[in-house]
Structure 1
């Protein structure tokens, strides 16, 4: 019995707006959605303008300044309209505030707004895609845990308590200063009296001064004790929470780089880093104030001179490590020509990267210069090719006016060139291929603040350097494998002995590739078919180990290409020729021939499905079911359509115009229903190309794909024998002029 498939359920979903689908998600996924929206793009706008937002192309606007200006102006106009129709006074007021904030934030940079909205919409689609999966993958689960709101609340509370404690110590230091001034005044007054003094009065005054000094000593010890407690608390915060949060963000950045959920939370990290740094510098200032008090009043066993050196050393140590770890790569190196494939650099092609300092202090010298170096301190003989940065590799950090005022620098025009070797000889040729050689881009700066000098250094994730676009698929396989299986920031020898991946890990990342290219990942049935192709009988074992060689280097049995090359060619085909059809969930895609026949055999004649070719790189075919007058079932498949054929005619138009000639019968379409039972024109109608304008002076010609089914030998490719009245020679000539016959011989079903 054939039950409702993932495809059938998805058809219903696609008739619903994206925002309505989002609102129907379960709570754990809605928490991810809530995490997307902040002051940069409030959820009120997403809710109020949902239809309008989804009908605009924000991806193009993000890279087109003129279009971004138009959309920004239009968005403000839409907000005016929504606000004028709002009956609730408070909501109307809030909308006005939001509109003013948007104008201030994006008026001078509307393309930034387009990028923000584009990012949110993409992440929404990825969340929806993950909701279609019957279960989350291990990486998705781990990332979900890493952004738990409870953890953030705990961090906010701890940082807030520390800040409050430090502020209270400010008051305590001031109080000690006032006490000391009072003591100093009384002591000097007593010393300056020249007239004979009453011994009893003198004794009382001395006793009072001693009590004041004891009180002062107690307060000095108390404030130093409180400082020690707060410093210990900051030390523990950095060790147990802040540094792990930073490492967690870096891990999420790795996962985002290979198509996973977009990385967020850097602004939150900056807030925690900055507040912690401010607390440390404030304690350092308080300690200096206490030292100033010692200059005026000190005594035997004064605790300040005794404890100050060790305490100051600890504070400086924490500041040093806090600021040093706050120097991060916000955007990993990426070529503008391939924004969805970061960490692959082609020689001679410009690429972009960005570093950021998470500590925001008003005292910082903002002319902080950052220098980039390629393959810094790389051991000799590690790689067979060496490169240098051809363009300017030094740039000053500056404050981002359009963000929360972070200190950052973006290198937008870096370019690599391979070093020339004497006598044409290179370094030692290793066993690794070009796409397995890993390289690194380092960033250095010298940071000076409040008398402290800190040498900052960070590096990108490992890079793959290619010299030809044909190496891009292999390079991307290496980037995926590395970032999937290790969180080491700079293990450049990784492919000397690459670890294995479990199928559950790998399948999740493969689904992300489809989400990235086409906003829709793979369902469980599609992943099962991929698992069978890669693992055979072990496909049902989610923890089965897949080797790097089997994934990317070894050819599929009986084929001249590897599993990854086959899958990457399908991704390219979708991206360039099948995107509209894939987004509509009209392509089943990954289904074996056996399953294909099992799905179609009980369906009405003319039911068809689309799947990717298993024998061709980057090919798609369709199969339909027929029943003869005896009720016997027959399956027909066409030769796969590849990029060369789809460049001439879009797939939707092929499905619309496809005809079959059988025994000379007038061509007719055998395709009636997209599996399971969707009328063909309902499934593809919105994707058909519009007919030529009637004002066009020529008779339009149409390219119609036609197949010929031969049930018996015939003398010519096309016969006019038909139960219908035969064409006249004139009619035949006119038809021949208008139709470009794409004849695909099908004397027997095509076997793919």
Structure 2
């Protein structure tokens, strides 16, 4: 109940976001009248990925329906009569909607409660001023993103208004053009009529023709803004005026295209900020969570940003296509066709990057993977609902690949995904959850049947060999107008066949999670250290784990060679580092 009381005090954009959580799938009246009961239930105890939990979810559904019916029965009075009917209707609606899929009800309510909690916490932090420096930075970054979206919305609306004006002008011009052709044909046909009849009908036709040509001349006068014509052009023939009208529309379309170029630049900047910074940071937090770090957080905010991007990109793409259609109706030689073609290609590249980058792994498979053991994973498309991908539900396939194959895929050196093992139950259809607006595929019963290992060298152990689970699919957007082949790689996994290998495999995973981020170098060989220091000035040093002494740390640095020209590399290895921490200098040795 306390959460709902706080939620009702939200204001502005937070209040609108809270209201948007509710709808036909879960009416806000149910949340209001059953607030205490809803908040007292253990919704988080239900494992949504486990079909065996449907029994528990069914009990929660039946309890919810019973509570609604009970609440309806106690309503009295004139106002209570309408509420009684409404609550009874909601009880029947829940029963018919979720009876066959009670887990969806749990998913819906969990999403609502988590979103409410986040909105209330954000509002509380903002009002009390208890946010730390990191929270202030986060709020400022989110505010900048939202301001950029508002700027993009206004720019898109401006180009939409300009496009409508051009379309209206062109349609009116075509009507006038056809009318003038009809009048011209009638005037020509007067020559075959008797003189008396011709004299009677010709003035009216000439008057109509003059009206049309006056309009064309008036439109031509707008060209003076572009310094393309002089006053004497207003007295030219009808055919020249027609050409001028064509040019007017072409100039307007050219100006519109220039506006679209600016909008596309803003879209690229915003998309880079969201995909290359915010989404990458979320993935990094997800990776560190595998080492026991804090939870990476939900995807609701990221999805809302990605959906706004998708909406704006698609609107601009439709505008560009409409502009292409207008120029095809009135073709003129010039740069328009080439410019619009480039804009269309650019906007398609932008939407392609958005779709392929927002196909992510929401729930990672276990990073220590034992053969013949069931495991689960969840993939999600953050823009699936906005682009209506769910209208043609795509199928996702999971295969396991080696580290070398994964590197080749990341470098686009390999388009064919060859498996390094066999995963059972590795196909899943993506489902759209209307209550949460998410499009995802839940792999619940995958199992690694066999693994194909690479040739190992020296003392390399099987628990040091890394693999990854590759998820791939194909999405159709805009009624099969655009088709995207998407792939995403899981965090590195180590495959084991016996429980005794678990500790060593976990060590490999922990190391990779900690040092896999660009800028970190896990293990550095001596020749690699020398190569990195080769171009550095004197005094530059590098600290690395020794590859010859167990537990040793080697320092390499660059210094002048007193005997010869150039520089020399110096190496010093410290053994028993923990002893150094105790300041025991007797345990210091040189390698």
> Smaller-chain TM-score range?
0.5 to 0.7
Partner of 2:300: 267
Gap change, CA 1:102 and 1:141, over 3 Å in 2: farther
When the two chains are superposed, the root-mean-square deviation of aligned CA atoms in Å is 5.2
- In the alignment, the residues of structure 1 paired with residue 133 and residue 513 of structure 2 have an alpha-carbon distance, to the nearest angstrom, of 15
Partner of 1:241: 274
The CA deviation at 1:141 is 8.6
- In the alignment, the residues of structure 2 paired with residue 362 and residue 332 of structure 1 have an alpha-carbon distance, to the nearest angstrom, of 25
1:110 to 96, 102, 106: 102
Gap change, CA 1:381 and 1:178, over 3 Å in 2: closer
Partner of 1:173: 163
Do the aligned partners of 1:46 and 1:53 also contact (CA within 8 Å) in 2? no
Do the aligned partners of 1:356 and 1:406 also contact (CA within 8 Å) in 2? yes
Partner of 2:474: 446
- In the alignment, the residues of structure 2 paired with residue 311 and residue 60 of structure 1 have an alpha-carbon distance, to the nearest angstrom, of 47
User: What secondary structure does 2:467 align onto?
Assistant: coil
Partner of 1:374: 400
User: What secondary structure does 1:415 align onto?
Assistant: strand
The CA deviation at 1:420 is 7.0
- In the alignment, the residues of structure 1 paired with residue 218 and residue 407 of structure 2 have an alpha-carbon distance, to the nearest angstrom, of 78
- In the alignment, the residues of structure 1 paired with residue 388 and residue 578 of structure 2 have an alpha-carbon distance, to the nearest angstrom, of 58
Gap change, CA 1:481 and 1:201, over 3 Å in 2: closer
Do the aligned partners of 2:395 and 2:427 also contact (CA within 8 Å) in 1? yes
Q: Are 1:322 and 2:354 matched, yes or no? A: yes
Partner of 1:577: none
Gap change, CA 1:149 and 1:69, over 3 Å in 2: farther
Do the aligned partners of 1:436 and 1:464 also contact (CA within 8 Å) in 2? yes
Partner of 1:476: 506
More helix by share: 2
- In the alignment, the residues of structure 1 paired with residue 332 and residue 407 of structure 2 have an alpha-carbon distance, to the nearest angstrom, of 64
User: What secondary structure does 1:64 align onto?
Assistant: helix
Alpha-carbon deviations, 1:405-429, whole Å to 9, x = none? 43322222322244579xxxx7224
- In the alignment, the residues of structure 2 paired with residue 284 and residue 191 of structure 1 have an alpha-carbon distance, to the nearest angstrom, of 35
The CA deviation at 1:346 is 0.3
The CA deviation at 1:347 is 0.8
- In the alignment, the residues of structure 2 paired with residue 98 and residue 356 of structure 1 have an alpha-carbon distance, to the nearest angstrom, of 33
Do the aligned partners of 2:424 and 2:446 also contact (CA within 8 Å) in 1? yes
Q: Are 1:207 and 2:217 matched, yes or no? A: yes
Gap change, CA 1:481 and 1:109, over 3 Å in 2: farther
Q: Are 1:69 and 2:58 matched, yes or no? A: yes
- In the alignment, the residues of structure 1 paired with residue 502 and residue 451 of structure 2 have an alpha-carbon distance, to the nearest angstrom, of 21
Do the aligned partners of 1:374 and 1:442 also contact (CA within 8 Å) in 2? yes
Do the aligned partners of 2:274 and 2:305 also contact (CA within 8 Å) in 1? no
- In the alignment, the residues of structure 1 paired with residue 407 and residue 457 of structure 2 have an alpha-carbon distance, to the nearest angstrom, of 8
1:184-223 pair list within 5 angstroms: 184-192=174-182, 193-194=184-185, 195=187, 204=214, 206-211=216-221, 213=245, 215-223=248-256
Do the aligned partners of 1:58 and 1:115 also contact (CA within 8 Å) in 2? no
1:131-142 pair list within 5 angstroms: none
Alpha-carbon deviations, 1:353-400, whole Å to 9, x = none? 222222222367624333322115726999xxx9512424344x3332
1:48 to 36, 48, 56: 36
Do the aligned partners of 1:381 and 1:428 also contact (CA within 8 Å) in 2? no
Number of matched residues?
A: 442
Query: Which runs of 5 or more residues in structure 2 are unaligned?
Result: 7-13, 117-130, 188-201, 223-244, 409-418, 526-542, 546-576, 584-591
Query: Which runs of 5 or more residues in structure 1 are unaligned?
Result: 1-18, 24-30, 125-139, 334-341, 502-533, 541-752
The CA deviation at 1:461 is 0.6
Gap change, CA 1:57 and 1:442, over 3 Å in 2: closer
- In the alignment, the residues of structure 2 paired with residue 97 and residue 535 of structure 1 have an alpha-carbon distance, to the nearest angstrom, of 70
Q: Are 1:354 and 2:378 matched, yes or no? A: yes
Alpha-carbon deviations, 1:584-639, whole Å to 9, x = none? xxxxxxxxxxxxxxxxxxxxxxxxxxxxxxxxxxxxxxxxxxxxxxxxxxxxxxxx
1:252-331 pair list within 5 angstroms: 252-299=285-332, 301=334, 304-331=336-363
User: What secondary structure does 2:392 align onto?
Assistant: coil
Do the aligned partners of 1:399 and 1:405 also contact (CA within 8 Å) in 2? no
Partner of 2:432: 400
Alpha-carbon deviations, 1:227-278, whole Å to 9, x = none? 2222111111111234322112212222333444433332332332233223
User: What secondary structure does 2:483 align onto?
Assistant: strand
- In the alignment, the residues of structure 1 paired with residue 516 and residue 294 of structure 2 have an alpha-carbon distance, to the nearest angstrom, of 17
Do the aligned partners of 2:494 and 2:505 also contact (CA within 8 Å) in 1? yes
The CA deviation at 1:183 is 1.5
Gap change, CA 1:419 and 1:465, over 3 Å in 2: closer
User: What secondary structure does 1:262 align onto?
Assistant: coil
The CA deviation at 1:49 is 4.2
- In the alignment, the residues of structure 2 paired with residue 222 and residue 143 of structure 1 have an alpha-carbon distance, to the nearest angstrom, of 43
- In the alignment, the residues of structure 2 paired with residue 57 and residue 208 of structure 1 have an alpha-carbon distance, to the nearest angstrom, of 70
The CA deviation at 1:284 is 2.1
The CA deviation at 1:316 is 1.4
The CA deviation at 1:462 is 0.7
Do the aligned partners of 1:170 and 1:286 also contact (CA within 8 Å) in 2? yes
The CA deviation at 1:310 is 1.7
- In the alignment, the residues of structure 2 paired with residue 471 and residue 430 of structure 1 have an alpha-carbon distance, to the nearest angstrom, of 19
Alpha-carbon deviations, 1:89-127, whole Å to 9, x = none? 99x98x969987977885544345657888999999xxx
Alpha-carbon deviations, 1:474-518, whole Å to 9, x = none? 4334433432444469x9x95678x999xxxxxxxxxxxxxxxxx
Do the aligned partners of 1:280 and 1:315 also contact (CA within 8 Å) in 2? yes
1:647-726 pair list within 5 angstroms: none
Gap change, CA 1:86 and 1:249, over 3 Å in 2: farther
The CA deviation at 1:72 is 3.7
Gap change, CA 1:119 and 1:536, over 3 Å in 2: farther
- In the alignment, the residues of structure 2 paired with residue 431 and residue 183 of structure 1 have an alpha-carbon distance, to the nearest angstrom, of 81
- In the alignment, the residues of structure 2 paired with residue 445 and residue 220 of structure 1 have an alpha-carbon distance, to the nearest angstrom, of 38
User: What secondary structure does 2:376 align onto?
Assistant: strand
2:491 to 461, 472, 475: 461
- In the alignment, the residues of structure 2 paired with residue 231 and residue 77 of structure 1 have an alpha-carbon distance, to the nearest angstrom, of 53
Alpha-carbon deviations, 1:726-747, whole Å to 9, x = none? xxxxxxxxxxxxxxxxxxxxxx
The CA deviation at 1:459 is 0.5
User: What secondary structure does 1:348 align onto?
Assistant: coil
- In the alignment, the residues of structure 2 paired with residue 200 and residue 82 of structure 1 have an alpha-carbon distance, to the nearest angstrom, of 76
Gap change, CA 1:163 and 1:200, over 3 Å in 2: closer
- In the alignment, the residues of structure 1 paired with residue 160 and residue 298 of structure 2 have an alpha-carbon distance, to the nearest angstrom, of 31
Partner of 2:573: none
Please identify, of 185-194 and 73-82, the stretch whose mean Cα deviation from structure 2 is larger.
73-82
Gap change, CA 1:85 and 1:247, over 3 Å in 2: farther
User: What secondary structure does 1:443 align onto?
Assistant: strand
